[in-house]
């Protein structure tokens, strides 16, 4: 079968990134791999087993559906944690499979306790506390009642963790707000101690927090973007490299995205290329068509903006990005021919296009571009 494009997942890069993270957090902190958004586009089905081979057995997702995908790999896990959405009628399934669930309101807590009681089993919950993100989480004033409920239902609920999320640790402009959140979290840790409930693992840090606010590295860190070899923001990268006096990026991107040239042809001077009039050939031009378009996650905003690599040349995407195709100017790359490898993300003969560079072309965030890569693009693990 001919694929329009494919994604490579590089295991050596992943290993390198885990080593980098583990060195920062030390031996007593648990690294939980965040694989929401289909493992940031890397594909849960392929990424989780590869991470597992690198020694990671603790995973966090947004939804029950994603948790099920992890379970379906059939591997042994030390932790699968749902940080977001789970339906009432999936709670029983979660308890049965030892899936840990964030709770941020009394309703979910009561419901999961009820399901656990029916099974004669303990539900494993993470108590999310409000520290200032103002999204989900128990407010301080409700916490005493919540912890009392848990004490009274010891046989059906067990606290696996207490946690909160920061409101933009990747941007120094949020410094004041983040520090306030950290202080609140530290105070709430004391509340848990006073209420004499064992809080399990305390966790607050995402990638940016781990780097910018080392104090947020508690018993566990929830690491998404960094494990994939990408920085939460340029600012975080620069801050790390300057502070640690390193000249070379310590991370290696895990994902590459590639395709092949489908066709080439000459367009005469004075003709328009592709739909409409967005590109006028000002000389005789040679173009190559690539079977990758916005339905594949190659954003329409890359029209006349994007770059790809063919035959070692960094080349311009010209005209409008179509649903299934884009057009590349190969006028000055004579050797380009049908079947040549095209790199949308990754490296070819020492030339590189990073995910981060897409934000320069199209204002698309690292995170957004990756999660828009469709699940049906084949993922291939490389060594
Ligand atoms: C996505 C997410 C993370 C991971 O964030 P990164 O910036 O990718 O490291 C951590 N915690 C929560 C609650 C999240 O939603």
Domain ranges of the chain: 11-243, 255-353
Residue nearest to ligand 1 atom 10, measured at CA? 206
Q: What integer pLDDT is reported at residue 365 of this predicted model?
A: 78
Q: Active site includes 36?
A: yes
DSSP codes joined into one string, 292-322: --GGGT--GGGTTT-EEEETTEEEEEES---
Residue with tokens 């690198």: 54
Which is the catalytic residue, given 12, 175, 183, 275?
275
Q: Which of 222, 231, 251 to mutate to test the pocket of ligand 1 (most atoms within 8 A of CB)?
A: 222
Instruction: Give residues with Cβ within 8 angstroms of 310, minimum separation 6.
Output: 261, 288, 328, 330, 333, 336, 340, 341, 342, 343, 348
Atom of ligand 1 nearest to the CA of 36: 1
Atom of ligand 1 nearest to the CA of 226: 9
255-353 folds as Lyase, Ornithine Decarboxylase; Chain A, domain 1 (2.40.37)
**Measuring CA to CA, which residue among 60, 71, 191 is closest to residue 131?**
191
CA of 223 to the centre of ligand 1 (A): 6
Instruction: Give residues with Cβ within 8 angstroms of 136, minimum separation 6.
Output: 102, 104, 105, 128, 130
Q: Which residues line ligand 1 (CB under 6 A)?
A: 34, 36, 83, 165, 206-208, 222-226, 232
Q: Which of 18, 83, 163, 210 to mutate to test the pocket of ligand 1 (most atoms within 8 A of CB)?
A: 83
Residue 24 to residue 180: CA distance in whole angstroms: 23
CA of 34 to the centre of ligand 1 (A): 6
Instruction: List per-residue pLDDT tens for the chain, 383 residues long.
Output: 678 999 999 999 999 999 999 999 999 999 999 999 999 999 999 999 999 999 999 999 999 999 999 999 999 999 999 999 999 999 999 999 999 999 999 999 999 999 999 999 999 999 999 999 999 999 999 999 999 999 999 999 999 999 999 999 999 999 999 999 999 999 999 999 988 777 799 999 999 999 999 999 999 999 999 999 999 999 999 999 999 999 999 999 999 999 999 999 999 999 999 999 999 999 999 999 999 999 999 999 999 999 999 999 999 999 999 999 999 999 999 999 999 999 999 999 999 999 988 877 776 678 888 999 999 999 999 99
Q: What integer pLDDT is reported at residue 197 of this predicted model?
A: 79
CA of 222 to the centre of ligand 1 (A): 6
Q: What integer pLDDT is reported at residue 1 of this predicted model?
A: 67
Instruction: Give residues with Cβ within 8 angstroms of 41, minimum separation 6.
Output: 7, 255, 297, 369, 370, 371, 372, 373
Contact 165, 181 (CB under 8 A): no
CA of 178 to the centre of ligand 1 (A): 15
Exposure of 350 by Cβ count < 10 A (0-12 exposed, 13-18 middle, 19+ buried)?
exposed
**Integer CA distances (angstroms), 269 to 37, 273, 334, 372, in order:** 44, 10, 17, 36
Q: Is 248 helix (H, G, I), strand (E, B) or coil?
A: coil
Residue 109 to residue 104: CA distance in whole angstroms: 8
For domain 11-243, say whether CATH 3.20.20.10 is its number. Answer: yes
Residue 88 to residue 104: CA distance in whole angstroms: 14
Residue 60 to residue 183: CA distance in whole angstroms: 25
**Measuring CA to CA, which residue among 177, 188, 192, 84 is closest to residue 132?**
177
Contact 142, 106 (CB under 8 A): yes
**Rounded (10°) angle between helices 140-152 and 175-194:** 30
Which is the catalytic residue, given 18, 36, 260, 294?
36
Q: Is 69 helix (H, G, I), strand (E, B) or coil?
A: helix
């Amino acid at each position: 079968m001919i694929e329009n494009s494919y994604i490579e997942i590089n295991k050596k890069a992943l290993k390198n990134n885990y080593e980098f993270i583990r060195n920062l957090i030390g031996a007593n902190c648990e690294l939980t791999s965040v694989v929401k958004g289909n493992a940031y586009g890397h594909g849960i089905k392929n990424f989780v087993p590869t991470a597992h081979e690198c020694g990671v057995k603790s995973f966090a997702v947004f939804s029950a559906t994603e948790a099920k995908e992890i379970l379906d790999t059939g591997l042994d896990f030390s932790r699968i944690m749902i940080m977001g959405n789970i339906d009432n009628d999936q709670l029983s399934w979660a308890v049965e499979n030892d899936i840990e669930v964030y709770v941020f309101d009394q309703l979910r807590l009561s419901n999961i306790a009820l399901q656990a009681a029916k099974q004669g089993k303990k539900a494993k919950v993470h108590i999310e506390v409000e520290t200032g993100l103002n999204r989900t989480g128990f407010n301080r004033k409700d916490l005493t009642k919540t912890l009392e409920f848990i004490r009274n239902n010891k046989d059906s609920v067990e606290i696996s963790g207490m946690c909160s999320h920061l409101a933009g640790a990747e941007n120094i402009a949020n410094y004041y707000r983040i520090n306030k959140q950290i202080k609140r979290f530290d105070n709430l840790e004391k509340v848990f101690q006073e209420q004499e409930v064992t809080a399990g693992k305390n966790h607050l840090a995402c990638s940016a927090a781990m780097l910018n606010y080392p104090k947020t590295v508690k018993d566990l860190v929830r690491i998404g973007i960094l494990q994939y070899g990408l920085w939460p923001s340029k600012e975080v990268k620069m801050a790390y490299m300057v502070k640690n006096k390193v000249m070379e990026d310590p991370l290696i991107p895990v994902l590459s995205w590639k395709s092949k040239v489908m066709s080439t042809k000459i367009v005469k001077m004075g003709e328009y290329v592709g739909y409409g009039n967005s590109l006028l050939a000002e000389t005789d031009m040679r173009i190559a068509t690539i079977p990758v378009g916005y339905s594949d996650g190659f954003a329409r905003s890359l029209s006349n903006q994007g770059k790809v690599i063919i035959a070692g040349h960094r080349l311009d995407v010209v005209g409008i990005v179509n649903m299934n195709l884009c057009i590349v100017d190969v006028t000055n790359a004579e050797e380009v021919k049908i079947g040549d490898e095209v790199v949308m993300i990754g490296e070819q003969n020492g030339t590189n296009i990073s995910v981060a560079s897409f934000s320069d072309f199209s204002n698309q965030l690292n995170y957004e571009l990756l999660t828009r890569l469709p699940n049906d693009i084949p993922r291939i693990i490389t060594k």
